[in-house]
Amino acid sequence: MELHNLRPAEGAVKRRKRIARGQGSGRGGTSTRGHKGAKSRSGYKRKRNFEGGQMPLQMRLPKRGFKSPNRVEFKVINIDELQSFADKYNVSDITPDVLRSKGYIGKTDTVKILGRGELTGALNVKVHAFSESAKASIESKGGTTEVI
C-alpha cells in the first residue's frame, strides 16, 4: 500500500447527480422538478407556517384579550425592602437614582412603593408612585413622600 494506490472503500463514495445536463443524462427536461407549479420555478421558497393552502394554525385559533400600548409597568418595592435598603446603605433620602446606583432597579424602570412591612425610622422617598397604605406608613413615621 502506497500513497498512489490509496482508494476509499467500495460504496463509500457516491457520484453526485448531474441535473439539467441534457436528455441523455436521464435528468434533463424538467430536471427532477416535475411539471409546472411554484416548486418547479427558480427562486421558490415556501413561506413559514404554510400548510399547503389549508387555514394555518395561528389563524384557526381564537384570539382573546388586549394589551394596552399605554400601560405603565412599575418595579414594585415594599416598605420592608425599603427599610432594609436604608439600613444596608445607611441612607435616608431614597430616589430612583440611588436605587439604580445600587442595582435595585434598571435604567428605565419606574418605581412604585407598596405598603407591606414596617418602618423603623423616617425616610424621605421620591419615586414615581405610592400606594395609599405606603404613603400613610411613611408619613406616620415622620418621613416625606414625593411623586416624581
User: Cβ-count burial of 85 within 10 angstroms (0-12 exposed, 13-18 middle, 19+ buried)?
Assistant: middle
User: Cβ-count burial of 111 within 10 angstroms (0-12 exposed, 13-18 middle, 19+ buried)?
Assistant: buried
pTM to 2 decimal places: 0.57
In this structure, what CATH number is given to the domain that contains residue 100? 3.100.10.10
Provide the domain count of the chain.
1
Its domain, for residue 81, covers 74-147
All cell numbers assigned to 19: 441535473
HSE on the CB side for 122, CA within 13 Å? 7
The answer to whether 88 and 108 are in contact (CB under 8 A) is no
pLDDT tens track, the chain, 148 positions: 899 999 999 999 999 999 999 999 999 999 999 999 988 999 999 888 899 899 999 999 999 999 999 999 999 999 998 888 888 888 888 889 988 998 888 899 999 999 898 888 888 889 999 999 999 988 888 888 889 8
